[in-house]
Chains A and B, each alone.
Chain A
Amino acid sequence: MVLIQVFLVFAIIAALVAVEAPSALSSIISLGAVGFGLSVAFLWLGAPDIAITQVVVEIVTLVILIRATIARGVTEIRGNESKTLLIGSLILFGLGSAFFANYLSDFPEFGKSAMETFSNPASQFYLKFGLDKAGGPNIVNDILLDFRAFDTLGEATVLFAAILGAITLLNRKVFIGNGEEKE
């Protein structure tokens, strides 16, 4: 449990560096450190599938971000912020903390999962009958590909739409017609 907290603190420090560093490369690499730190935390939390997915997604995200900045000659990303926005964000942070403190007592205590605190949860059903009904020893994959397969289909649809949008945006021929292309 202490290990998990150590990795979460590591992620928070890396996130602060990523937000405040002026150099583009160090900022993006610190963002990668957030993802990888959380990935190790997921391993300790008993979620190896998520750790693997997180590593793959993190690498692809870093490649995309470096493609957007450093490959275009942008090596400094300074975020000169204004004072009014700082006050606004402090107010928002206070409001968020108030909400968090208000609902803190409703959370299940850490180390006591949600499926133990609520009566008749779906997770117990999946754990009990996953091997027999879906035929896979990994219950997470049973849920993804058998019990909630339509959910995965929807995920694939959303992913397809988002990637299609990105490809359309980055396609050079689309913008040449308007005479706006500078590259």
Chain B
Amino acid sequence: MTIESIPVESTLSDVGNLGGTTKVNRADYLLGLLSLRGELPSELGRLQERRDRAFSLVHDRAIPTTRDEEWRFTDLSDLLRLQFQTRLPSEIGFPQLEDFLLPESTNSRLVFVDGVFAPALSAVDDLPDGVLVGNLVAGAELVPALPAYLANQPGGDEVFTALNTASFTDGAIAWVPKNSVVEAPIHLLFVSTTEALSHPRCLVVAQAGSCVTLIEEYVSLSEGRYFTNSVTEIYVEENAEVRHTRVQRDSVSAFHIGKTAVSQARDSRYTCTAVSLGAKLARHHLEIYQTGEQTDTTLNGLTLVDGDRVGDTHSLIALSQPYGTANQVNKTVVRDRAHAVFNGKVWVPKAAQMTNAAQLSRNLLLSPKARVDTKPQLEITADNVKCAHGATVSQLEDDEVFYLQSRGIPADQARKLLTYAFAIDVIDRISVSSLRDTLTRLIRVQTS
């Protein structure tokens, strides 16, 4: 007992010290990230107040620890080892982007390199009258209403969201006026080339009765240890429709923390298909705020992790009005010693009567050391609603493998086919065919 108690005590005091130093380090580290912030172009001057507020908010905070409830399962300690400096953006050309361009978006594409807008690589043409797709600065000149939307979603106090708000310089804007239908998908391509810190920012406003398809994609030209901290704000106004595909294909050494905040007005429809394939540590905050009745929300998620990587999705569907419909399916495939996290909150307060909500978390563990933490979190106080949720964590079923084997398919190939099938089900919901084909190829490689 005595012998055992010594290491226990020393471990405890170590943790205490470590906790103490880490806390200081985490605040200092965050200040270091904040000090790299860029200057806001003067055209966006009206935003300065929100930006200053975000700055002072981050100033007094620290990088979260696993003692923070929201970060219980995802440890950011490894991020603290990375040091960043202000860098000039890399010069890249079309040949390096070849694999990432979508034929459907030849004339509706914005490219950002290490967070900086690259006009020479972007192309915006032939859009319907009044539709504006461009860098935020241009948007602020042309759309006086823009500052009313930017950095104005709930949840902006979250530390990484605030860090982005305090730091971003460039960003994508897609402004779709009333009743306008944009046929071509808008492709927002964020390319990382070096070990940089970047704060991609997107603002999408779909005004009443409009319809737009959005592809937000994060890719890498290197295996660098960079840090992408993105925020996308989407406003789906009355009876408008936004189909959003978010693809995270960052370097497997990179850190990716991303926020998608969506406001849905009355009768609006929003679909998000979020695919997370890369990054050493990826975290996606997906937040839906209902502001009017009879909204329709569909959230599809797929995370593939292997090695010792971490893939984390934290979602919130905050209903506040009656007759809303929400369908969410989140799938993860976890190999090796990798770790997947899903935390899905659904709020159905008393005002949200006649809500029909369903959430399903499905997780496939492919090795004994793979780990998943899944936490459906439904808070329902309305009494006349339909709300269903389920979570499954499984390995491949012997019976499934046997069924394929009995048709002449070897066990190893059968397991790959079943894993592929589990994942591809999410990809099949993407409407842009070239992107769907690319992702199908990537899933095929990652499941074989």
Say whether A associates with B: no
